[in-house]
Each structure stands twice: as C-alpha cells, then as structure tokens.
Amino acid sequence: MNETPLYDRPEIYFAAAAFLLAVGIFGLIRRRTLIGMLISGELIFSAATLNVMAFNRFRAPDPAVGQIFVLFIMGLAAAEVGIALSIIIAVYRNYRSVKTKELSELNG
C-alpha cells in the first residue's frame, strides 16, 4: 500500500513481539517444570523488549528514552532470573523435585 519497506514499518515488529508473547504464555501453560516456566517467562521479557524498541524507533519524540528503558528492563530481568533460580534451588532442596505436579502442598 505504501512504498516503505517492511523493515521500516512498525506493524511487523509488533506482530513479531505478539508472537513471542503468545509463545511465552503457551510455554507457561504447557511446561511442567519450574525451569521450563522460567524460560517461557524470559521469552515474554524479550517480547516486551522488542515492543518497547519498536515504539522507540517509530513513535517516540525522544529517540534515546526507549533504549534506556530497555536497559532497565534487562536489569530487572537479570535480577528476576537470579532470584527465581535461587528459589527453585530452595524448592528442590525441600521437595527433591521441580515438577509443578508434585509441588502441591498449598493445594486446597
């Protein structure tokens, strides 16, 4: 419809980010170990990062702000992974398993 090439249009980046988000949510439902669920969470983080980057490139009045926010998102993701993995280790120490089926002590 217009002559701008595909890589210079924001829609395609949004679609890719939405696909990554969908895959991440699917993995959160489908994976059966805590590690697998955490990896799916990382995919969701990447989707958010790509989305912010695309908005930053095509919509932001100040072009560097979005990149700084992506930097903050990466810091948050690193902190989150560290905490979550140590919680997983603590869970494994108590239950000898990280399968979600067997962690049912709080199951009502």
Partner 1 sequence: MQDILFYIFASLTLVFGFFVIANPFSRNPVTSAMFLVLTIISLAGLFVLLHAFFLAVVQVLVYAGAVIVLFLFVIMLLDLKAEEQRKLRTFAVIGGVISVGAILAIFLQSLASSPLHADELPLLEGGTAQLGKLLFTQYLLPFEIVSVLLLVAMVGVVLLSGKEAK
What's the CA gap between 106 and 94, in Å, rounded? 14
Count of residues in contact with partner 1, rule CB under 8 A: 69
Please report whether residue 102 would count as binding partner 1 according to CB under 8 A: no
Q: Which one among 48, 51, 53, 102 touches partner 1, defined by CB under 8 A?
A: 53
Q: Which residue has the tokens 């009045």?
A: 61
Q: Which residue has the tokens 């903050």?
A: 72
Q: Which one among 51, 70, 104, 108 touches partner 1, defined by CB under 8 A?
A: 70
Q: Which one among 48, 59, 95, 104 touches partner 1, defined by CB under 8 A?
A: 59
**Residue 108 Cβ vs partner 1, minimum distance, rounded to whole Å:** 22
Which residues, 6 or more positions from 43, have their beta carbon under 8 angstroms from its beta carbon? 20, 21, 23, 24, 27
Please report whether residue 77 would count as binding partner 1 according to CB under 8 A: yes
Please report whether residue 27 would count as binding partner 1 according to CB under 8 A: yes
Please report whether residue 9 would count as binding partner 1 according to CB under 8 A: yes
Q: In this structure, are residues 60 and 66 in contact, taking their beta carbons and an 8 Å threshold?
A: yes
Closest CA to 49 of 27, 29, 78: 78
Closest CA to 93 of 104, 83, 85: 85
The residues of the shown chain that bind partner 1, judged by CB under 8 A, are 2, 4-16, 18-20, 22-24, 26-27, 30-33, 35-36, 38-40, 42-43, 46, 49-50, 53-54, 56-59, 63-65, 67-68, 70-72, 74-83, 85-90, 92, 98-99
